[in-house]
Amino acid sequence: MVDAFDKCHSWREYDIVTGMGLNPYYHRIDERAGPNEVRIGGRPMLMAGSNDYLALSTDPRTTAAAAEALGRFGTGTSGSRLTNGTLALHEELEAELAAFLGHEAALVTPTGFQANLALCPLLGPRDALLADRYIHASLIDAARLGQARLRRFRHNDMGHLGRLLEAADPGAGLIILTEGMFSTTGDLCDLPGISKLAAQHGARVVLDGAHDIGVLGPGGRGAAEHYGQGSAVDLHTLTFSKCFGTVGGAVTGPEPVIRYLRHHSRAAIFSASLPAPSAAAALAALDIIRTEPGRRRRVLATAERVGSELAALGFAAGRDGTPTIPVHVGETFACLRLWRELFEEGVFTNAMIPPGVPEGHALIRVAVTASHTGAQVERILDAFAAAGRRLNLIG
């Protein structure tokens, strides 16, 4: 007889990696001890792997807005948007987000993951979806749940995308799906190339701006604004779990499309709506994003410094002008060892290993925030120098 739980008992990788002291996942944060300072398993640790790029999760204005909304509406909405869970705060946030991104309408969802799943009703059996090979798991799941034919193009390879568009069924509705800034590698999509191909082939462009909306572009409107191509994006998805410092997500686009998603997206209809404190925090964050460009300048300058100094130390560090700096290692265990040495040095980073990245492309993801000080940057660099020398990764 086969037990459906057998796979769990025979899963060995966990024991092997944990036994070697190399498990980078599910480390318990006991408390936050100051900007970017945490206690993990009783040890003080400098956080260098957080998506709180603009340091808004602890800003007094976002926390006060959340506290006020908590007092007014409580801890949860006790219903989905469709039924009893739509608050005035959701509608206000939708109007503000749509106006911010130059779109007609928005739908706020409980998470960014669900914002991407909410795309499913657009992916019909007569449509063809062309997606970058590096898209986030939530977009892959949306593609799997949707009915459109999925083809993946090589990362940012416009020649490959062009060939896939040429080969698509002429009767299919074409959708190109990619990310503004890629979550793992920190580089940007080739939006100018994509929008040119989209215009040639009559394709719609859907961009996940999870990591770039708030921090890129002069006004914080993301990769599209960075490229001066706001109108090239037909639909944007985004999350509040990074630049907005809270939780939640949204889809923005033309009013008829958003109305259709509002009534057809199972991820939005059959799930309780975003709690009021998060909606209020996101609104306060949006206001700060609009009015404080200095935060963007600060985090990007810090990222540039970390990237260039890591490269000077001899690491294969990416430098794409975003808050995420990938340090390419390659082999999975070498990456886990570097992660562990950095942890021993008191710096917490993210180890990205297969299947999160292709085999042989493991990397350490360093992410910086607007509140990292010069002294904290020194600690990150010193930790990399010490860890890299110990492991003979650098000279």
| Burial 318-343, CB ≥16 within 10 A → b, else e | bbbebbbbbbbbeebeebbbbbbbbb
| Residue 232 per-residue DSSP state | G
- Amino acid occupying residue 231: S
Residues 129-168 contacting ligand PMP, CB under 6 A: 136, 138
Q: Is 252 in the site for ligand PMP (CB under 6 A)?
A: no
* CB closer to ligand PMP out of 66 and 377: 66
Structure tokens at 329: 């290692």
Which residue number, 230 or 356, has a Cβ lying nearer to ligand PMP? Answer: 356
Catalytic site positions = 51, 136, 179, 183, 208, 211, 242
CA distance 46 to 371: 12
Q: Omega of the bond prior to 35 within 30 degrees of 0, cis?
A: no
Three-state SS at 206: strand
Helix (H) or strand (E) holding 127: strand 127-132
Among 127, 132, 179, 345, which residue interacts with ligand PMP (rule: CB under 6 A)?
Answer: 179
Of 112 and 222, nearer to ligand PMP (C-beta) is 112
- 278 is a contact residue toward ligand PMP (CB under 6 A): no
| Position 52 contacts ligand PMP (CB under 6 A) | no
Task: Give whole-number Cα distances, 374 to 168, 202, 298, 303, 377, in Å.
Answer: 51, 48, 11, 11, 5
The dihedrals phi and psi of 56, each to the nearest 5 degrees, come to: -95, -10
Dihedral sign for Cα atoms in the order 95, 96, 99, 100: negative
> In angstroms, rounded to a whole number, what is the distance separating the alpha carbons of residues 87 and 84?
9
Q: Is 249 in the site for ligand PMP (CB under 6 A)?
A: yes
Q: What is the DSSP letter of 12?
A: -
The tokens of 278 are what? 């998060």
CB atoms within 10 A of CB 5: 8
239 touches ligand PMP by CB under 6 A? yes
- Choosing from 36, 183, 195, 324, the residue that interacts with ligand PMP (CB under 6 A) is 183
Q: Name the nearest CA neighbour of 99 among 245, 260, 219, 195.
A: 219
112 binds ligand PMP (CB under 6 A): yes
178 interacts with ligand PMP by CB under 6 A: no
Return the number of the residue (65 or 206) whose C-beta is nearest ligand PMP: 206
Looking at 100, 113, 339, 348, which residue binds ligand PMP (CB under 6 A)? 113
Q: How far is the CB of 8 from ligand PMP (least distance, A)?
A: 25
For ligand PMP, the closer of residues 351 and 383 by Cβ is 351
Residues 92-111 that bind ligand PMP (CB under 6 A): 111
Please, are residues 347 and 45 in contact by the beta-carbon 8 Å criterion? yes
* Shortest Cβ 128–ligand PMP spacing (Å): 22
Whole-angstrom Cα distance, residue 355 to residue 42? Answer: 30
Looking at the Cβ atoms of 111 and 185, the one nearer to ligand PMP is 111
Name the minimum Å distance from CB 179 to ligand PMP.
5
Q: Residues with Cβ < 8 Å from 123, sequence gap 6 or more? A: 129, 142, 143, 146, 147, 148, 175
Write down the least CB distance from residue 96 to ligand PMP, Å.
Answer: 18
| Minimum distance from residue 130 beta carbon to ligand PMP (Å) | 17
Closest CA to 119 of 101, 140, 133, 103: 140
Residue nearest to ligand PMP (CB): 112
- Total residues binding ligand PMP (CB under 6 A): 14
Positions 204 through 223 that interact with ligand PMP (CB under 6 A): 208, 210-211
Least distance between ligand PMP and beta carbon 135 (Å): 7
CB of 44 to ligand PMP, least distance (A): 26
C-beta of 183 vs 349, nearer to ligand PMP: 183
- Residues binding ligand PMP (CB under 6 A): 111-113, 116, 136, 138, 179, 183, 208, 210-211, 239, 241, 249
